[in-house]
């Protein structure tokens, strides 16, 4: 039998989908692309925005067009928050919530279509287990996302995650290290630590994210560690220092801001001020001037006036950051901000979002220009496009290189060239480790000569 999967949302969702896929392959199923006919279709949903909800419904209908007789199971955050709406879509057979999504085979033995959809969604308070998960490329074996934490205790005014995933929880450091060892043995060179709020790791068992990072740093054969995202109030000076002192942890930080004005930060129920954030970014750049720093920002939150938007824009413009992820605010049921006064008209939200996305492109280009001519370690991905290979440097510069067989899945020191589109040209200085062994390799001939 064949099974297909579709994932919406964050990298944590992708890691969990990969674990679901392994449940099927372990039982003899063949996993096929979602665009091909299959016997079972599993859709892992997100519900951060209204658009994510709408897209989930569209994906269900797409699955049924491709595989009209398939057993369709919908899992994840949207399934937890609005199971009745999903169950009402023609052709859906099963809806599984946060506590149930990894028990698909318990609920649907045989995967025969039901006359009526079945819903297994318990209260989110029951979501207190921790389903280990990791994802990575099927062919290139370069990077894997390792789930180390789930849930969130912060209760920001705009966020559905605590409603969909429950309270903050994490697995033990020992379990994380054991999974990291397994991933290294499978050939992965880089592990990205992911979760809903990874900086909260270990709060309930007396450990900490700093201890986890230290333990991961000691994993033999693991060459690079990256952190998906971390809240600014949880990024202590001690943690930053340990992060930057490591030879394995990438000099790349993704730090949500959400807004650059204290008035809206308070309304959002964030746990820091704009001054706190500015000092944190300044401290990182002082200690590591070439560090790449990404920022999440929400546009159109209730109460955002033109003046506040301008203050937010100017604040971000002045920050020495590398790129932006811009989210247009949308009202989410059962979140405090739904009832806040000062609703921003959708056309203004989208206009402000466009302005910040342009700023984000400028920030990326400015950062890339500062890296011109510098030599950084780069993990080369195995996918070949137009006879070119690409990948990310440790500080998150996307670089493309002319294809050479010795570069596939290798870590190489590359000299960064001029930006072309969304990435930079590059040339190889030397290969640090190959795809088959962690050992120095001979210097390659100069590839793609460029000006210095």
Query: For residues 265 and 173, what is the distance between their CA atoms, to the nearest angstrom?
Result: 33
Q: Which CATH superfamily is domain 375-433 in?
A: Nucleic acid-binding proteins (2.40.50.140)
Residues of the chain with CATH 3.30.750.210: 129-250
Helix residue ranges, H only, 186-305: 209-217, 237-245, 262-268, 274-287
Asked if residue 57 has pLDDT above 90, the reply is no
- Check residue 435 and give its pLDDT: 59
- Check residue 436 and give its pLDDT: 44
C-beta of residue 134 within 8 angstroms of C-beta of residue 183: yes
Q: Which of 24-28, 44-48, 126-130, 293-297 has the lowest mean pLDDT?
A: 126-130
- Check residue 443 and give its pLDDT: 34
Residues of the chain with CATH 3.40.50.12160: 2-122
Query: For residues 246 and 155, what is the distance between their CA atoms, to the nearest angstrom?
Result: 32
Q: Looking at the structure, give the CATH architecture of the domain made up of residues 2-122.
A: 3-Layer(aba) Sandwich (3.40)
- Check residue 47 and give its pLDDT: 81
Radius of gyration of the CA atoms of the chain, in A: 22
Asked if residue 452 has pLDDT above 60, the reply is no
Tokens of 183: 């991933």
What value does the mean pLDDT take over residues 32-41?
Answer: 95
- Check residue 129 and give its pLDDT: 67
Tokens of 367: 């950062």
Could you read off the pLDDT of 80-89 as tens digits, one per residue? Answer: 999 998 998 8
Asked if residue 283 has pLDDT above 70, the reply is yes
What value does the mean pLDDT take over residues 379-394?
Answer: 90
- Check residue 136 and give its pLDDT: 62
If one compares 234 and 142, the residue with the highest pLDDT of the two is: 234
Q: What is the CATH number of domain 129-250?
A: 3.30.750.210
Q: Which of 72-76, 117-121, 397-401, 440-444 has the lowest mean pLDDT?
A: 440-444
What value does the mean pLDDT take over residues 260-266?
Answer: 98
3-state helix, strand, coil in the chain (%, to 5): 35, 25, 40
Asked if residue 448 has pLDDT above 60, the reply is no
Torsional class of 447: left (φ above 0), alpha (ψ -120 to 50), beta (otherwise): beta
Query: For residues 108 and 451, what is the distance between their CA atoms, to the nearest angstrom?
Result: 60
Asked if residue 438 has pLDDT above 60, the reply is no
Query: For residues 209 and 215, what is the distance between their CA atoms, to the nearest angstrom?
Result: 10
Asked if residue 447 has pLDDT above 50, the reply is no
C-beta of residue 414 within 8 angstroms of C-beta of residue 426: yes
C-beta of residue 271 within 8 angstroms of C-beta of residue 265: no
Model confidence band, residue 29 (pLDDT cutoffs 50, 70, 90): very high
Could you read off the pLDDT of 305-343 as tens digits, one per residue? Answer: 999 999 999 999 999 999 999 999 999 999 999 999 999
Could you read off the pLDDT of 182-207 as tens digits, one per residue? Answer: 999 988 999 999 999 999 999 988 99
């Amino acid at each position: 039998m064949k099974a297909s999967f579709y994932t919406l949302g964050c990298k944590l969702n992708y890691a969990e989908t990969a674990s679901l896929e392994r449940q099927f392959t372990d039982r003899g199923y063949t996993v096929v692309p979602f665009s091909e006919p299959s016997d079972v279709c599993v859709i892992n949903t997100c519900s951060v925005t209204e658009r994510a909800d709408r897209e989930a419904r569209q994906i269900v209908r797409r699955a049924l067009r491709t595989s009209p007789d398939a057993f369709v199971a919908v899992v994840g955050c949207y399934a937890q928050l609005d199971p009745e709406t999903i169950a009402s879509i023609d052709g859906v057979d099963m809806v599984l919530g946060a506590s149930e999504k990894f028990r698909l085979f318990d609920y649907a033995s045989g995967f025969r279509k039901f006359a009526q959809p079945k819903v297994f969604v318990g209260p989110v308070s029951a979501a207190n287990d921790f389903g280990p998960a990791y994802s990575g490329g099927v062919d290139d074996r370069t990077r894997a996302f390792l789930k180390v934490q789930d849930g969130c205790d912060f209760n920001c005014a705009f966020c559905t995650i605590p409603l969909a995933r429950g309270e903050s929880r994490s697995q033990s450091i020992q379990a994380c290290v054991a999974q990291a060892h397994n991933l290294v043995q499978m050939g992965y060179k880089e592990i990205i630590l992911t979760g809903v709020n990874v900086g909260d790791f270990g709060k309930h068992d007396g450990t900490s994210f700093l201890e986890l990072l230290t333990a991961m740093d000691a994993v033999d054969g693991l060459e690079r560690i990256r952190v998906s995202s971390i809240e600014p109030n949880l990024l202590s000076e001690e943690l930053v220092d340990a992060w930057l002192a490591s030879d394995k942890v990438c000099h790349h930080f993704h730090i949500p801001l959400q807004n650059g004005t204290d008035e809206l930060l308070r309304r959002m129920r964030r746990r820091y001020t704009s001054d706190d954030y500015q000092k944190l970014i300044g401290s990182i750049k002082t200690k590591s001037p070439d560090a790449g720093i990404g920022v999440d920002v929400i546009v159109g939150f209730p109460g955002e006036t033109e003046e506040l938007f301008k203050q937010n824009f100017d604040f971000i413009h002045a920050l020495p950051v590398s790129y932006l992820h811009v989210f247009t605010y949308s009202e989410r049921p059962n979140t405090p901000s739904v009832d806040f006064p000062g609703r921003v008209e959708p056309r203004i939200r989208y206009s402000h979002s466009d302005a910040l996305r342009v700023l984000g492109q400028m920030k990326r280009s400015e950062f890339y220009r500062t890296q011109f001519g510098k030599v950084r370690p780069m993990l080369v991905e195995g996918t070949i496009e137009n006879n070119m290979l690409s990948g990310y440097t440790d500080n998150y510069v996307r670089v493309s290189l002319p294809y050479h067989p010795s570069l596939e899945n290798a870590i190489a020191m590359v000299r960064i060239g001029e930006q072309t589109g969304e990435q930079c040209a590059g040339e190889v200085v030397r290969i640090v480790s190959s795809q088959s062994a962690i050992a120095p390799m001979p210097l390659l001939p100069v590839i793609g000569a460029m000006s210095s």
